[in-house]
Structure 1
Amino acid sequence: MRGEASLSADRQSRDSLAPKLRESGLDTWRIGEELFVMTQLLDGNKRVEESLTDPSRPSADKVALLEDILGDQVHPCTLEVLSDLVRRRWSRVADIANAVEDFAVDAMMYYADATDSTMTVSMELAQIESALMEMPILRSKLSDMSVPAQNREDLLHKVFEGNDLGKVTMRLIEHLACSPRHRRFLSALRWLIAKFSRHMGESMVIVTTATTPSPEYMKRLTDHFTRQLGRPAHINLVVDPSVLGGMRVQVGDEVTDRTVVAQLERLKRSVSMGV
């Protein structure tokens, strides 16, 4: 949980700089990349992080240190975002890295907007999340901090190389694999999905069925979840014949599994417990 000072700093900074970031158009890709690099630098160097958040240090000194670290090659908007963040007061030293990561993801979302791929990215992230639910060994390996970051990234590419994922989706999951930031890969992926849902003003509902429902049924589902959630819902359909029948619905972290496979598994556990 972030303290009150950090929440205030993060909110004020985003309110001030989000419009400028959005207006950067295709440059947001570069800005996002640079902010991801800065997130890794802060996570890996607590001394730098402490120096940039020291409340007793004049803001001008912290900005000067930041400029020394960055050099003169970064995008002006990247420098503006980071300079704004180091001038603010933080409840905990680590909270500034969280804010930098948030801005990095925002930049990637704005790049997706600029390339008309926001919905595609959101759906691809949801599909990856759905696939990982059935791949516990892969989930474990992607979250294993004893494995070098490059190995985790290589594993990610090996698993998803044939899926034709867009560049934004791929960059986002690469970041999660290389920089878990004390999170399990699946939890961090769900965080991204939630950010994209809020960004689009919608809620992503992942529906898994054995066969493709009719367009009429999909419309009824969309209308149902729109009413239930109180805001526009987007249905991401995953067709998986292995579930045999029924439906699995996921909204955020909530899962309702009424597939035939799940019911058989519950019956099997019930019988085992009875024996």
Structure 2
Amino acid sequence: MGSATTQALAATTAALDGAAGIDLAVAGELFAAARALGQSSQLAGALADSAASTQARAKVVADVFGAALQPTTVKLLTTAVEQRWSSPDDLVDAVEELAVRGAAHSAAGADVEGELFRFSRTVAANPELELALGSRLGDDSAKGALVRTLLQGRASDATTLIVSSLVQQPRERRVRQLLNRAMDLVAEQRGRTVATVVSAVPLSSAQTERLSAALSKRYGGTVALNAVVDPKVVGGVRVHIADDVIDASVSARLADLRQRIAG
């Protein structure tokens, strides 16, 4: 990610945080705008062209999206195109990120991170489903419809919108990659960090609370836990958080012992 894009992302995120009326409809419109940009390199290129004036780029947004989208959505898109982006692809990614953050913002009481994680685990355990959602040959609208059917009654409207929208525009990204990125964005929007905890048996509520408190203290912020049960770890836990892996499992200690014995 270029420095221009880093600064632009900060500006667009701040605009979303300061906007009024961010609801699921706005998030849906942002996803639709991201698809439109992703499907038209000419449009994305024009809106990310720093050689053009900000007024000219804002006019393109008004001409293309003004009549179809809510004023709040158009204002966010205008803020996005007024920034300097390292590439048109970065602008597309940014609008998609705004959509994910907007969905998270609109569903403050829903466990969106947990629902995304559980669906990601479902995809990982079902190669046929992963192929159906990730195939370049599949119909995009059918992928969205499949997700909505699978998540009906099992996930919040925000999670359903995020997943069904992302699978319709993978842009060379794997489904689980899309879901993991969305999970991180939702957690960040809510001021949290997500940790994946792998244990041989399910953790008790007391163990979960203690581990969450310890990680929150270590990383300086609220840490939400996603639990995975894997008998291969034998005992103890393995924690994946940000770019760190904390392995306190019995299997890791046994592997270390075998290495020491082998010399």
Tell me which interval the TM-score lies in, with the shorter structure as reference length.
0.7 to 0.9
The equivalent residue for 1:273 is none
What TM-score does the superposition give when structure 1 sets the normalisation length? 0.77
Aligned length: 253
- Counting aligned pairs with the same residue, the percent is 22
The equivalent residue for 2:12 is 13
Matched residue of 1:178: which SS? coil
Distance 1:249 1:188 in 2: 21
Q: Deviations over 1:166-194 (max 9, x none)?
A: 10011111112111122111011111111
Answer yes or no: is 1:236 the counterpart of 2:235. Answer: no
Please, which of 155, 164, 171 is the counterpart of residue 146 of structure 2?
Answer: 155
Matched residue of 1:94: which SS? helix
Contact 1:243 1:259 in 2 (8 A): no
Residues 141/255 of structure 1: CA separation in 2 closer, same or farther (3 Å cut): farther
Alpha-carbon offset, residue 32 of structure 1: 1.1
Residues 193/63 of structure 1: CA separation in 2 closer, same or farther (3 Å cut): same
Q: Which amino acid aligns with 1:36?
A: F
Distance 2:88 2:68 in 1: 26
Contact 1:204 1:233 in 2 (8 A): yes
Alpha-carbon offset, residue 141 of structure 1: 2.9
Q: Deviations over 1:105-124 (max 9, x none)?
A: 121121012xx22xx11111
Contact 2:195 2:225 in 1 (8 A): yes
Q: How does 1:3-82 map to 2 (within 5 A)?
A: 3-15=2-14, 17-21=15-19, 23-24=20-21, 27-82=22-77
Alpha-carbon offset, residue 210 of structure 1: 6.2
Q: Deviations over 1:189-235 (max 9, x none)?
A: 11111112222332223335565433332233223333443433222
Distance 1:14 1:209 in 2: 35
Distance 1:10 1:220 in 2: 34
Residues 87/235 of structure 1: CA separation in 2 closer, same or farther (3 Å cut): closer
Contact 1:194 1:252 in 2 (8 A): no
The equivalent residue for 2:166 is 176
Please, which of 121, 132, 136 is the counterpart of residue 145 of structure 1?
Answer: 136
Distance 2:210 2:66 in 1: 55
Answer yes or no: is 1:112 the counterpart of 2:107. Answer: yes
Please, which of 183, 188, 191 is the counterpart of residue 193 of structure 1?
Answer: 183
Q: Deviations over 1:41-91 (max 9, x none)?
A: 011011112222333333333222221211434221211111222233322
Q: Which amino acid aligns with 2:18?
A: K
Deviates more, 1:246-255 or 1:211-220: 246-255
Matched residue of 1:164: which SS? coil
Q: Deviations over 1:238-267 (max 9, x none)?
A: 5x598796456443576778999x99xx9x
Residues 138/45 of structure 1: CA separation in 2 closer, same or farther (3 Å cut): same
Unpaired runs of at least 5, structure 2 = 256-263
What TM-score does the superposition give when structure 2 sets the normalisation length? 0.80
Q: How does 1:90-109 map to 2 (within 5 A)?
A: 90-109=85-104
Contact 2:132 2:143 in 1 (8 A): yes
Unpaired runs of at least 5, structure 1 = 267-275
